């Protein structure tokens, strides 16, 4: 029983991180109908930013940790806005596939520049928050896992508030429903899109820091696999749907963890993708997604 | 928008440099294929540092056979197929006298048939899969092979650590890991031990709690992790977090400073086998470590760097003994390498063109790798 | 094209000529030319699905790997038995053709298995499912010890020559362009432009999509077989989604649905990393930077000389 509980905790912690990254994918998709391939690399930049910022604050303190988190989120928000402005905005009028290629280009650029600038060898991510482990019977709960789950939940709640209770959030939702109509009612699409990218990138940065806290080894290619998994999670939950992304992330984290602990652990990735395919076959728009009926 | 012609000038210039044949008589060209970018770039960058450092040292000492060495390095981006193209280019365009590379066995297997067919000697610094040198008699390596290392660790686990039931945690996406685990298992079981269970992960993963939780529940007295330091450090960290206090041990893939940096307290008391350690007090090693640090801004050389260094030095030694850069004589000279004092151990190339050298077992103690015992082939 | 069959024969004859003279070509250039040929097959076959039929597939490398593995397995297992110790060139050629066909057909079956469930899905969902299938294929091969596991297969006999590669490239271009330019083939473009309208005029979009998947997978399998017998060693990791994305980039850069453009893009994107070798450290940085710049400056595709704009659903 304690093994089951332990695995559940492990799965939730992993799932929370996937959820955070998935949120960024899903937000950008909801507003722009486009998969931002560079998102996973903003995640990586966030972790590296945290690595360098952590040198400026005292180690293992709550205040220091929060400062690093905030600093990294702001830095990556700016990065996301810059990328959007330079690489994506000129292509907004054309077919989405072109922006996709540009996104791939940005992703590769960030990865290889990272390898060039930071070197390919992994670095140790410093301890940000004070670490304590709780032992409950056979169950081991590390403070890092708890922080990850709490922060992820907090950011998700904050995101829901922004999207549903603020003017800019309403503007984002309007844009995702119908971009032309949104413009007609006076919404400045450029500002809203920039804001969406900034917000998504900030979430990616948070995901990067939490990921690095949990697995303290960072390198320029660290975003590739989590990014892919998070993308799968976003689609699983229904891409464009914020609670769906969170749900997808949690499901994927749990499935992966339980499979990894089972005799079929070598097929872990295949099973995760298999679950995705099965769910999409039953619900072609994802778990919480709305299937858009095309009017002729 | 019409194309700006200036966009074509630059690649055109590059093409022109490809067109002319390379013919410099007073320089010996040595080719290197390494993964400088891409997912295993950490290993390729490391071995490259060792190799180029060796070449620089040799040139500073007057070169080899009275000529300077020119190292031509090609990056394969860790992509399938690239090592072959790079090898082809080095042989036919750059006319290298020998090829150094690669670390990953799968990429060495791409280069080896080309080197063999062109009769250009090839020395792999770090490929441990037995198949590589079976491609042909022009293919060599300066490291030991998986069967040997698996045997070494199995004997150590049985005889020294006195382990009875061991769990294996292998990387399913790495041929090195799978191979090492297989040979360990064979010898360990033959020695009377038992493999309680086998768990797997894939390279690049960071979360092993699921696998470790199962291992913990199985009640083993040791865990063998034949993977790379990138995952080993995290595995140890998470194992200790989960309350797994049993000995954890691995192979030469563990050796690199980040193992201890990232692993910290969690890797204390772990063991691994290697041909080399920066803390080895032998003069040739300490000399190498000191000079390497000076050259690369304080960086301590890891096993890949040391192997890269030795591959170049063994080649130079063979060139001197052959007295010529002609391929057949050079090949024979490499094959005849005996008791060469390399930084990764006294190296003799055996009949299968593999390096015969002792493996050393290290324990991580007090943030350092400490010598435990040496096991000869 | 007035007499496509004659053009195909001429192309095959040209391939034979090049092969005859291949001893005069620098081995490195020959190497690059062979890879260009394989990439052309991959890009043109993917163009059928992504370009002409408008289905966003991200799993092409998976089909390539099926072809590579199965044809290599045939060569390694059945080769010595069927060919004996000193086969004639003709026998070897026929055997190789057989092995390639086995690989291609296996890949086609995989295409069928992937295509059928995926057809309910649109756009980005289809993309992620094809990507997922590609990864599942990779993980499966990684776990099959008989196929080498993580190390893959090596010691594959070197049957691929420039003749085979160029001949199959010509065959792929011939098949895809004839298919698309035929009366039946107009259906692909119809499905691409407006699936509902196509259904309304009596076409079966599902059948067209399946045909596109199967045909493109077949040629991807052939390309995989050619690759395996050229590099002599294949690993599951070499056919992952980054490889799929490389091929997708060729198709999009060439202008989706533009045959000539896609061929030129395949050639360019294979040559570019080679040309950039002198600055190897910055090679990928320059490559990715060029990608961004090219898409911004010429979004209709590099070589899209006709102005065929893909219609985007929605505002």
Find the length of chain A.
296
Instruction: State the pLDDT at residue B21.
Output: 46
- Where do we find the tokens 């990586």? A44
Residue C47 C-alpha from the chain's centroid:
9
CATH T-level assignment (fold) for domain C4-297: ABC transporter involved in vitamin B12 uptake, BtuC (1.10.3470)
- Average pLDDT estimate for C238-254: 89
Instruction: State the pLDDT at residue C313.
Output: 39
What single-letter DSSP state applies at residue B227? S
- Average pLDDT estimate for C262-289: 88
Contacts of C286 in chain B (CB under 8 A): none
Contacts of B172 in chain C (CB under 8 A): 142-143, 149-150
Instruction: State the pLDDT at residue B99.
Output: 95
Chains near B with 3+ CB pairs less than 8 A apart are: A, C
Instruction: State the pLDDT at residue C86.
Output: 77
Tell me the Ramachandran region of residue B169: left when phi exceeds 0, alpha when psi lies from -120 to 50, beta otherwise: beta
- Distance (Å) from the alpha carbon of C117 to chain A's nearest alpha carbon: 7
Task: State yes or no: pLDDT of B25 exceeds 80.
Answer: no
Among chain C, residues having any CB pair with chain B shorter than 8 Å are 26-28, 31-32, 35, 142-143, 149-152, 154-155, 158, 227, 231-239, 243, 272-281, 283-284, 297-298
Alpha carbon distance C301, C304 (integer Å): 5
Tens of pLDDT along C20-74? 888 888 899 999 999 999 999 999 999 999 888 888 888 999 999 999 999 999 9
Task: With CB atoms and an 8 Å threshold, state whether C231 touches B77.
Answer: no
CA atoms within 13 A on the CB side of A123: 18
Percentages helix, strand, coil for chain A (3-state, rounded to 5) are 75, 5, 20
Is B79 strand, coil or helix?
A: coil
Task: State yes or no: pLDDT of A62 exceeds 90.
Answer: no
Task: With CB atoms and an 8 Å threshold, state whether B74 touches C227.
Answer: no
Tens of pLDDT along B26-70? 899 999 999 988 888 888 999 999 999 999 999 999 889 989 999
DSSP string for residues in A237-293: H-TT-HHHHHHHHHHHHHHHHHHHTSTTGGGHHHHHHHHHHHHHHHSTT-SSPPP-P
Contact C126, A97 (CB under 8 A): no
Tens of pLDDT along B297-339? 988 898 899 999 999 999 999 999 999 889 999 999 999 999 8
Alpha carbon distance B182, B12 (integer Å): 51
Alpha carbon distance A24, A44 (integer Å): 14
Alpha carbon distance C130, C121 (integer Å): 10
- Residues in Cβ contact with A27 at an 8 Å cutoff, skipping those fewer than 6 apart: A172, A196, A199, A200, A203, A242
**CA-to-CA separations, B366 to A124, B261, B300, C159, in angstroms, rounded:** 18, 12, 17, 56
CATH code at B6-144+285-357: 3.40.50.2300
Contacts of B202 in chain A (CB under 8 A): 268-269
Contacts of B14 in chain C (CB under 8 A): 275-279
Structure confidence at residue C308 as a pLDDT band (50, 70, 90)? very low
Nearest residue in chain A measured CA to CA from B202: A266
Q: State the complex-level ipTM.
A: 0.87
Is B270 strand, coil or helix?
A: coil
Classify each residue of C260-287 as buried b or exposed e, where b means 16 or more C-beta atoms within 10 Å of its C-beta.
ebbbbbbbbbbbebbbbbeebeebbbbb
Tens of pLDDT along C119-162? 777 777 788 889 899 999 999 998 898 888 888 898 899 999 89
Task: State yes or no: pLDDT of B207 exceeds 90.
Answer: no
Task: State yes or no: pLDDT of C257 exceeds 60.
Answer: yes
Of C132, C282, C313, the CB nearest to A232: C132
Contacts of B177 in chain A (CB under 8 A): none
- Where do we find the tokens 């769906």? A244
Task: State yes or no: pLDDT of C311 exceeds 50.
Answer: no
Nearest residue in chain B measured CA to CA from C149: B175
- Residue A293: burial class (beta carbons within 10 Å; 0-12, 13-18, 19+): exposed
| pTM (two decimals) | 0.87
Question: CA triplet B175, B181, B184: central angle to 5 degrees?
Answer: 140
Q: Which is more confidently placed, B110 or A120?
A: B110
- Distance (Å) from the alpha carbon of C163 to chain B's nearest alpha carbon: 19
Contacts of A256 in chain B (CB under 8 A): 210
Structure confidence at residue A130 as a pLDDT band (50, 70, 90)? confident
**CA-to-CA separations, A86 to A79, A99, A191, B334, C64, in angstroms, rounded:** 11, 12, 14, 55, 35
- Residue C90: burial class (beta carbons within 10 Å; 0-12, 13-18, 19+): exposed
- Distance (Å) from the alpha carbon of B11 to chain C's nearest alpha carbon: 6
Alpha carbon distance C179, B274 (integer Å): 59
Least confident stretch, A275-289, B106-120, B316-330, C62-76: A275-289
Contact B245/A at CB under 8 A: no
Instruction: State the pLDDT at residue C9.
Output: 87
Least confident stretch, A29-33, A195-199, C196-200, C206-210: A29-33
Task: State yes or no: pLDDT of A227 exceeds 60.
Answer: yes
Task: With CB atoms and an 8 Å threshold, state whether A281 touches C120.
Answer: yes
Nearest residue in chain C measured CA to CA from B174: C150
- Where do we find the tokens 């060729």? C250
Residue A132: CB atoms within 10 Å: 10
Task: With CB atoms and an 8 Å threshold, state whether B258 touches A124.
Answer: yes
Instruction: State the pLDDT at residue A235.
Output: 85
Contacts of B261 in chain A (CB under 8 A): 123-124
Average per-residue pLDDT in chain B?
87
Average per-residue pLDDT in chain C?
87
- Average pLDDT estimate for B172-183: 89
Average per-residue pLDDT in chain A?
86
- Distance (Å) from the alpha carbon of B133 to chain C's nearest alpha carbon: 12
Instruction: State the pLDDT at residue C63.
Output: 96
Structure confidence at residue A4 as a pLDDT band (50, 70, 90)? confident
Beta strands in chain B (DSSP E): 27-34, 68-75, 98-100, 122-124, 139-141, 165-171, 194-201, 222-224, 248-250, 271-274, 340-342, 345-349, 355-356, 359-365, 368-375
Alpha carbon distance B62, C16 (integer Å): 51
Max mean pLDDT among A146-150, B198-202, B314-318, C122-126 falls in: B314-318
* Domain assignments of chain A as residue spans, ordered by start: 2-222
Task: State yes or no: pLDDT of C1 exceeds 70.
Answer: no
Task: State yes or no: pLDDT of B15 exceeds 70.
Answer: no
Q: Where are the domain boundaries for CATH 3.40.50.2300 in chain B?
A: 6-144+285-357, 147-274
Task: State yes or no: pLDDT of B22 exceeds 60.
Answer: no
- Residues in Cβ contact with B75 at an 8 Å cutoff, skipping those fewer than 6 apart: B34, B35, B36, B37, B44, B82, B86, C280, C281, C283
- Average pLDDT estimate for B247-276: 88
Alpha carbon distance A255, A249 (integer Å): 10
Structure tokens at A75: 């830095």
Mutate to test the interface with C, among B8, B71, B92, B173 (most CBs of C within 10 A): B173
Instruction: State the pLDDT at residue C219.
Output: 96
* Domain assignments of chain C as residue spans, ordered by start: 4-297
Contact C108, C221 (CB under 8 A): yes
Contact B77/A at CB under 8 A: no
Alpha carbon distance A128, B229 (integer Å): 23
- Residues in Cβ contact with B282 at an 8 Å cutoff, skipping those fewer than 6 apart: none
Contacts of C147 in chain A (CB under 8 A): none
Instruction: State the pLDDT at residue B3.
Output: 46
Task: With CB atoms and an 8 Å threshold, state whether C139 touches A284.
Answer: no
Contacts of A294 in chain C (CB under 8 A): 196, 313
Of B79, B91, B178, the CB nearest to C149: B178
Nearest residue in chain B measured CA to CA from C152: B106
Residue B62: CB atoms within 10 Å: 10
Alpha carbon distance B215, B222 (integer Å): 10
Instruction: State the pLDDT at residue A78.
Output: 95
Of A119, A217, A269, the CB nearest to B206: A217
- The CATH superfamily label for domain B147-274 reads Response regulator (3.40.50.2300)
Of C136, C200, C252, the CB nearest to A270: C136
Chains near A with 3+ CB pairs less than 8 A apart are: B, C
DSSP string for residues in C262-302: HHHHHHHHHHHHHHTGGGGGGHHHHHHHHHHHHHHH-TT-T
Alpha carbon distance C216, C55 (integer Å): 12
- Average pLDDT estimate for B74-84: 91
Structure tokens at B326: 């002609």
**CA-to-CA separations, C108 to A21, B216, C104, in angstroms, rounded:** 35, 45, 6
Contacts of C243 in chain B (CB under 8 A): 80
């Amino acid at each position: 029983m304690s093994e089951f509980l332990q695995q559940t905790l492990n799965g939730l912690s992993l799932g929370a991180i996937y959820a955070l990254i998935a949120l960024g994918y899903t937000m950008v998709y909801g507003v722009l109908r486009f998969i931002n391939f560079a998102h996973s690399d903003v995640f990586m930049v966030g972790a590296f930013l945290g690595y360098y910022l952590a040198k400026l604050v005292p180690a293992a303190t709550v205040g220091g940790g929060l400062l690093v988190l905030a600093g990294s989120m702001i830095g990556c928000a700016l990065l996301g806005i810059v990328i959007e402005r330079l690489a994506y905005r000129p292509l907004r009028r054309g077919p989405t596939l072109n922006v996709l290629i540009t996104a791939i280009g940005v992703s590769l650029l960030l990865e290889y520049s990272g390898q060039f600038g930071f070197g390919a060898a992994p670095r140790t991510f410093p301890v940000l928050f004070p670490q304590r482990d709780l032992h409950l019977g056979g169950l081991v709960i590390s403070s890092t896992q708890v922080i990850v789950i709490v922060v992820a939940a907090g950011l998700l709640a904050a995101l829901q508030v922004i999207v549903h209770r603020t003017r800019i959030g309403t503007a984002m939702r309007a844009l995702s429903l119908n971009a032309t109509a949104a413009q007609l009612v006076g919404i400045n699409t450029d500002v809203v899109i920039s804001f969406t990218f900034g917000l998504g990138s900030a979430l990616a940065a948070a995901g990067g820091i939490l990921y690095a806290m949990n697995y303290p080894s960072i390198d320029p290619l660290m975003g590739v696999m989590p990014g892919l998994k998070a993308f799968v999670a976003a689609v699983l939950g229904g891409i464009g749907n914020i609670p769906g992304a969170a749900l997808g992330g949690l499901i994927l984290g749990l499935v992966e963890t339980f499979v990894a602990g089972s005799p079929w652990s070598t097929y872990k990735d295949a099973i995760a993708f298999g679950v995705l395919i099965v769910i999409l076959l039953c619900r072609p728009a994802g778990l919480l997604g709305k299937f858009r009926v095309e009017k002729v | 928008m019409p194309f700006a012609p200036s966009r074509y000038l630059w690649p055109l210039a590059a093409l022109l440099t490809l067109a002319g044949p390379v013919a410099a008589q007073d320089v010996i060209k040595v080719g290197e294929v390494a993964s400088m970018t891409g997912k295993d770039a950490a290993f390729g960058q490391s071995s490259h540092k060792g190799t180029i450092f060796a070449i620089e040292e040799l040139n500073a000492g007057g070169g080899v056979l009275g000529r300077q060495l020119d190292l031509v390095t090609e990056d394969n981006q860790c992509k399938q197929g690239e090592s072959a193209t790079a090898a082809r280019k080095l042989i036919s365009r750059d006319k290298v006298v020998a090829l150094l590379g690669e670390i990953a066995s799968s990429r060495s297997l791409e280069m080896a048939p080309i080197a063999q067919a062109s009769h250009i000697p090839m020395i792999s610094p770090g490929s441990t899969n037995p198949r590589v040198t079976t491609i042909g008699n022009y293919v060599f390596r300066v490291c030991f092979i998986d069967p040997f290392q698996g045997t070494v660790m199995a004997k150590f686990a049985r005889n020294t650590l006195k382990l009875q039931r061991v769990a294996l945690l292998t990387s399913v996406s790495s041929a090195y890991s799978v191979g090492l685990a297989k040979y360990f298992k064979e010898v360990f079981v033959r020695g009377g031990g038992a493999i309680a269970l086998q768990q797997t992960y894939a390279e690049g993963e960071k979360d092993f709690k699921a696998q470790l939780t199962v291992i913990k529940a199985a009640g083993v007295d040791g865990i063998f992790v034949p993977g790379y330091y990138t995952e080993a450090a995290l595995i140890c960290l998470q194992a200790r977090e989960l309350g797994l206090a049993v000995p954890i041990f691995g192979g030469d893939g563990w050796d690199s400073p980040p193992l201890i940096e990232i692993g910290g307290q969690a890797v204390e008391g772990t063991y691994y086998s290697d041909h080399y350690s920066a803390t080895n007090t032998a003069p040739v090693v300490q000399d190498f470590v000191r000079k390497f640090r000076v050259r690369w801004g304080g960086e301590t050389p890891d096993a890949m760097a040391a192997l890269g260094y030795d591959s170049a030095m063994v080649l130079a030694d063979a060139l001197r003994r052959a007295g010529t850069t002609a391929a057949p004589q050079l090949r024979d000279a490499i094959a005849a390498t005996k008791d060469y004092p390399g930084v990764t151990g006294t190296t003799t190339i055996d009949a299968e063109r593999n390096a015969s050298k002792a493996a050393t077992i290290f324990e991580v103690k007090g943030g350092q790798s400490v010598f435990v015992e040496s096991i000869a082939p | 094209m007035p007499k496509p069959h004659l053009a195909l024969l001429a192309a095959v004859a040209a391939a034979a000529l090049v092969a005859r003279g291949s001893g005069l070509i620098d081995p490195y250039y020959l190497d690059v030319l062979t890879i260009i040929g394989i990439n052309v097959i991959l890009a043109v076959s993917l163009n059928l699905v992504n370009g002409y039929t408008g289905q966003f597939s991200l799993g092409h490398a998976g089909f390539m790997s099926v072809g590579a593995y199965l044809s290599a397995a045939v060569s390694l297992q059945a080769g010595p038995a069927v060919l004996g110790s000193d086969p004639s060139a003709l026998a070897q050629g026929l055997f190789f053709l057989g092995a390639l066909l086995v690989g291609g057909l296996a890949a086609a079956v995989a295409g069928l298995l992937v295509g059928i469930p995926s057809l309910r899905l649109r756009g980005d969902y289809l993309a992620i499912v094809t990507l997922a299938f590609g990864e599942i294929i990779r993980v499966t091969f990684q776990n099959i010890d008989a196929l080498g596991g993580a190390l893959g297969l090596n010691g594959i006999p070197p049957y691929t020559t420039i003749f085979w590669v160029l001949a199959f490239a010509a065959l792929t271009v011939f098949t895809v362009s004839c298919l698309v330019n035929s009366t039946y083939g107009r259906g692909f473009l119809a499905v691409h432009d407006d699936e509902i309208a196509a259904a309304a005029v009596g076409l079966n979009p599902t059948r067209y999509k399946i045909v596109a998947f199967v045909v493109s997978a077949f040629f991807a399998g052939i390309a995989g077989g050619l690759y395996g017998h050229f590099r002599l060693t294949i690993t599951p990791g070499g056919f992952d989604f980054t490889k799929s994305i490389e091929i997708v980039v060729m198709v999009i850069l060439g202008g989706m649905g533009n045959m000539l453009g896609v061929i030129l893009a395949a050639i360019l994107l294979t040559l570019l990393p080679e040309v950039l070798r002198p600055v190897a450290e910055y090679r990928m940085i320059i490559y990715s930077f060029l990608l961004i710049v090219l898409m911004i400056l010429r979004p209709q595709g590099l070589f899209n000389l006709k102005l065929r704009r893909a219609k985007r659903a929605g505002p």
